[in-house]
Amino acid sequence: MKKTVLQWIFQSTIWCYLCLSSSVFANGQETDMTSNWDEVQKDTLSILADPDNWGQYGCGELLHVLFPGLIIYATTNNEKMVGSLMAMYQTAMQICPVPERRNFYTELKNVVIDIPPAPNVFMPFLLVESDRPIVAEATIDFAMMAGRVEDGLIPVEQLFGFLSDGLAANPGALYGGLIFLGDPRVVRIIWGYRYQLSDEEISEAARSRTVYPTVDAFDFWLRWAEDLATQGETESGRFGSVVSAMAMIIRDDSVNSFSKANRRFGYVHSKDKAVIEMETFETYTRKEYGGSILDRLYALERVEAPPKLTSDVILRFGYEPKAPFSQQYRDAYDAQ
């Protein structure tokens, strides 16, 4: 009986909510749909209010409750649900493997992307989740879906607030997501916070990259590496993580260009369908952008302790490293 109810909740949620979010109802169907959605909400809230019984549920069953629960919270902003949703997601994390949680996030996002702004739906993934790819993706999705284009940087400021207030379970991944938004305005907001991150958190941020590299995201890591070099930290773990962030970006063979661009935060739900995700000002080929920063990379290569990962970055931009071969990071050549 338990499994039947949970499956019914899950299967009914998407159908009911998408119908309710539509402005077109035919032949009195609105009443039936509303009634069905009301039943889903009632059963979901009942299970959420009974944490003593959560232990009897498996991973899939918990996710079947969280799915409608998050949509209810996102659309009603019922603050009384926050504690239960966060606690249930924490419980789900203990028994649900990472691939299951990643699939769950993707399925949920695919629903909310087609409905009005519902930023609250991302809260468990931003504040409770520890998996780096989920947190970084949720950071970017929150920024792009959480408000309206006319709200400007408000979603980014909210995300930075989660970070600076110590609310995120994986602050490094959230910080990395903000960096890889690649927007110069975001970079200015978050630049000073880098001193607050631990070595482990910097490593998480460095590995939170996206497939859309921008000049400002790459330059963020380059400036950070230069800053650490000036402070004599070229042999520190954090310096290695920062340089590795640049290496991971440029090692991706699909990265053929770098752009200077501003994000259109909130564009997903803009009423003006002509609004696009990014306003691009300039675009450079991989070789062109590498050439524009080559002197800075050579300066970094000179002071980096062997094996020099900066040599790998230089090579993958299409230029020859200057460090002796024996001091260069060898994987660059092994890959050729």
pLDDT, mean of each 10-residue run, the chain (336 residues) = 46 48 41 63 90 93 91 84 94 96 92 71 94 95 75 86 96 96 93 96 90 89 97 93 94 87 73 63 94 98 95 95 91 45
Contact 176, 208 (CB under 8 A): yes
Q: What is the pLDDT of residue 39?
A: 81
pLDDT given at position 180: 92
pLDDT of residue 270: 60
pLDDT at 333: 39
* pLDDT value at residue 87: 96
Q: What distance in Å separates the CA atoms of residue 259 and residue 273, rounded to the nearest whole number?
A: 23
pLDDT value at residue 54:
94
Cα Rg of the chain, angstroms: 23
List C-alpha distances in Å: 13 to 26, 36, 65, 121, 221.
Answer: 20, 9, 10, 14, 42
Q: Which sign, positive or negative, has the C-alpha torsion 241, 247, 249, 252?
A: negative
What are φ and ψ of residue 261, in 5° steps? -155, 155
Using CA atoms, how far residue 245 sits from 50, 105, 106, 211, 240, in Å, is: 44, 25, 25, 13, 9
Distance CA 173, CA 89 (A): 18
pLDDT of residue 13: 53
Q: How many CA atoms lie less than 13 Å away from 113 in the CB half-sphere?
A: 11
Which pLDDT score, from 0 to 100, does residue 96 have?
97
